Structure 1
Amino acid sequence: MTRHSRNCTAGTVYSYHERQKDQSQSGYGSKQLRLGKDSVKEFDCCCLTLQPCRNPVVTKDGYLYDKEAIISYILQKKKEIARKLKEFEKQKQRAKTEAEEIQKLEEQEKVKKFSSRTLEAPSLKTNQPGTSNQASVSNMKDGKHKELPSFWVPNLTPDAGPKIEKKPDEKVRCPMSGKPIKLKDLIDVNFTDIKDRDTKTALINKQARYVCAVTNDVLGNSVPAAVLRTSGCVVTMDCVEKLIKKDMLDPINSKKMTEKDIIVLQRGASGFSGSGLSLEAKKEGAAMQA
């Protein structure tokens, strides 16, 4: 069976183009879209502000932040944690007070029942004419009106009590990795500016802004890079594999290095390479069954 053209409506073939067009117009089916370069964060941009860093710092996991932004984030989170802890302590104290009051009421009820039983005279069971020993059908007699709150309301109705708060996490966590983050663990980053003799264009408007501190290769989202903890300089991973790992010396200040001193910089990606990031946006929808 041959396929028909896009604008042909007399054929029996339901083409891919027609199916995609019907899905976009009707809203049925899952929609997928590949993100372009303008939708991906640049490697030298802050993970919070999404703008090029003025005072860049990096975490142990390689996430880059602007120093002012991450300090503001940590301070805000500490205030929020302190507020939640205060509310949790109030709730804990309130629950303790309520438990003590319930215990006092139970003790008073026990004393009242005991005193009423001891002072109560023994009842004489006599079968007088006109009296019946059968229990009453009504649920409001024989003292049951004190147990039930109302004639038509059940005894075990759900109670909408106050919201119970859980104990908050006292650690400030990284917004990207979710691991605990401390200000003393942040490492200052020193980017090497590109020397292109262009003094009129601002650095933020340049496509190529920084280069490797050793090989002068242009850095970008398509170039894997790493931060050296001993000097804070940014070099390419190619330089790390071919030059630095041979002697494990920092080429900037000749300090001895270990594997932990090489922090792989988490970067974005272009629209043609994944680089560990998901570049496809997907929205689930109702499917049409044939």
Structure 2
Amino acid sequence: MTRHGKNCTAGAVYTYHEKRKDTAASGYGTQSIRLGKDAIKDFDCCCLSLQPCQNPVVTPDGYLYEKQAILEYILHQKTEIAKQMKLYEKQKQAMKNDSKLESKSEEREKVEKFKTRENSIVSKPINPFTSGQNRGGDKGSSSSAAAASTSSGSVASSSQSLPSFWIPSLTPEAKPTLLKKPSKAVLCPMSGRPIKMNELITVRFTPIDPSLDRVALITRQDRYVCAVTKDVLGNSLPCAVLRPSGCVVTQECVEKLIRADMIDPVSGDKLSDKDIIPLQRGGTGFAAAGVELKAKEARPVMQV
């Protein structure tokens, strides 16, 4: 569509461009935008600092981290878990003390009820000549007492069913939220699976020959090559890490060369399927590689 067509306001049709322009100006409606290459992390950058790694390590799931950054993250998570565990133990002890107090109060109430029942039992001699009158009087008194009890019971039930915000004794209160027992496992910030220090694998990138270009390694766009085929590595090229040597090779090299005999070409060690770790990479500006390239902003929606 030409520039004249976008700015045309004499058309009889409400175009898609005009709708998007009005939506952005009004402040209503959810907007979505496609991310470009500059918004995607490079394959050799740390998932926490988003900077090129100096001492890279990789998890068994294929996420690359700077060694110092991931170790600081694990130590920080362990201290937070220890704090949450102390709060949970404190809450558990408080609940145990409350249950003991409640059990003691219930026992005291049972004893008091027993005493009142025993004290109310009084043996009186029965007069056979006045027993009928007393029975009639007792019936009248019992009926009046029953009526009074029903009226008081209805008043009490109505007062209990309708809480008042003005009477402190009837005001509903918010109970404190109970803490759940925290898990002792430290989770990976990317995959969400448990991560341990001894499971981190040291990665050894093969740099490009510095004599070919005088640009610094960090500012250079192409920094590393495959350890076997010497192909330039990038986000558009799937890579894998070999566990015994820690070298990074292309996925094509793995399928065509390494899987034929399952031997590490650098260290000469025998490989298994678990020793070949696919390196998680970002996406390019045109196709996604495990990363969602669309960003959405949720805003209020006007409904009729």
Which bin holds the TM-score, normalised by the shorter protein? 0.7 to 0.9
- Rounded Cα–Cα distance in structure 1 between residues aligned with 2:118 and 2:177: 43
- Rounded Cα–Cα distance in structure 1 between residues aligned with 2:189 and 2:38: 22
Which has more helix, going by share of residues? 2
Letter in 2 for 1:34: R
- Residue in structure 2 matched with residue 231 of structure 1 by the alignment: 245
1:276 pairs with one of 290, 293, 301: 290
Q: Which runs of 5+ in 1 are unaligned?
A: none
- Residue in structure 2 matched with residue 108 of structure 1 by the alignment: 108
> Residues 139 and 235 from structure 1, CA distance in 2 versus in 1: closer, same or farther, beyond 3 angstroms?
same
2:274 pairs with one of 260, 267, 271: 260
2:208 pairs with one of 194, 199, 220: 194
Q: CA deviation at 1:161?
A: 2.2
Aligned ranges 1:170-209 → 2 under 5 Å: 170-197=184-211, 200-209=214-223
Q: Does 1:135 align with 2:174?
A: no
Q: Deviations over 1:8-29 (max 9, x none)?
A: 3333211111111111111233
The residue matched to 2:211 in structure 1 has which SS?
A: coil
Q: Does 1:72 align with 2:72?
A: yes
The residue matched to 2:148 in structure 1 has which SS?
A: coil
- Residue in structure 2 matched with residue 42 of structure 1 by the alignment: 42
The residue matched to 2:175 in structure 1 has which SS?
A: coil
> Residues 116 and 269 from structure 1, CA distance in 2 versus in 1: closer, same or farther, beyond 3 angstroms?
same
Aligned ranges 1:154-173 → 2 under 5 Å: 158-173=172-187
TM-score normalised by L of structure 1 = 0.87
> Residues 52 and 125 from structure 1, CA distance in 2 versus in 1: closer, same or farther, beyond 3 angstroms?
farther
> Residues 222 and 79 from structure 1, CA distance in 2 versus in 1: closer, same or farther, beyond 3 angstroms?
same
- Residue in structure 2 matched with residue 249 of structure 1 by the alignment: 263
Count how many residue pairs are aligned between Structure 1 and Structure 2: 282
- Rounded Cα–Cα distance in structure 1 between residues aligned with 2:172 and 2:302: 41
Q: CA deviation at 1:196?
A: 4.1
From the CA coordinates, give the structure whose radius of gyration is larger. Answer: 2
- Residue in structure 1 matched with residue 127 of structure 2 by the alignment: none
More deviation, 6-15/153-162: 153-162
Q: Deviations over 1:139-171 (max 9, x none)?
A: 59xxx7xx98xx965987533222210010111
Q: CA deviation at 1:277?
A: 1.2
Q: Deviations over 1:152-210 (max 9, x none)?
A: 65987533222210010111111111111111111000001111415753211110111
Q: CA deviation at 1:288?
A: 6.0
Root-mean-square deviation over aligned CA pairs: 3.1
TM-score normalised by L of structure 2 = 0.83
The residue matched to 1:5 in structure 2 has which SS?
A: helix
The residue matched to 2:25 in structure 1 has which SS?
A: helix
